[in-house]
Amino acid sequence: MQAINFSRFRKIVVLTGAGVSVASGIRPFRGKGGLWNEINPIEYADSSLLQTNPRAIWQLDGALRKQLATAQPNAAHIKLAKFEANLSLDQQFTLITQNIDGLHQLAGSSNVIEIHGNVRRTRCSNSNCSLTPYLDSNPYNDVLPVCQSCGSPLRPDTVLFGEQLPVKEEWLSKRALRDCDLFIAIGTSGTVYPASGFVRSADYAGARTILINLEPMEPKNPYFKEEYLGSAEELVPLLFGATS
């Protein structure tokens, strides 16, 4: 398997999904071994729970944060960070991630768009509150915390079922895809909105489109022109070549 020759590409967009973080001990939500196979997401991750049972959301958040307590970036995270750092000045790199674990930033990636938020951050459940989302280093506690500014329950800064994507992150993603010349999806089938439309946008822009995933996409997505099968932590270092 040969490394991709990136020298001819000026605007590179990478989309990552749960498959990138599995080797770091982070369970995926969907698919084989996925969390949603064991619990009903409507009972723990639906936006309606903010009004009826916000503690359920906080409990799920706590379980995820416990996973992250010892999780470290794996070879895929590290290679992507080094790749970004070693690009030439006339190349642009955007990393869009569906993951909420923050491991890309921990590995050193800088231009990261988190379209589903970050479970390490906490914010107020009151959309009119002035509290700015913040990195929450407090140990998890079953007691639902409340906002010191308005008294509303706090919540993880992630996108729940039934919620819109963050406007800024969605806009930044679409802007990057508009004129990219290389699009690579890693560890995701790209079937969940809005990622399901990302490869189509990239293809319309004339980009080379590549899928790196553990299993083949079924049904096939005609907008992916190349497919490499295997784990992210093995294939990303190979395909992204040598970095200092």
Q: Which residues is 94 bridged to in the sheet?
A: 13
Asked if 33 contacts 27 with a C-beta cutoff of 8 angstroms, the reply is yes
Residue 116 known to be catalytic? yes
Peptide bond into 194 cis (omega under 30): yes
Catalytic entry in 65, 79, 116, 120: 116
Give the Cβ contact number of residue 70 at 10 Å. Answer: 8
**Strand-by-strand arrangement of the 11-16 sheet:** 112-114, 92-97, 11-16, 182-186, 208-213, 226-229
> Degrees (nearest 5) of the Cα angle 24, 156, 198?
65
Peptide bond into 219 cis (omega under 30): yes
Longest CA–CA span in the chain (Å) reads 56
Give 175's contacts (C-beta < 8 A, 6+ positions apart): none
Active site residues: 116
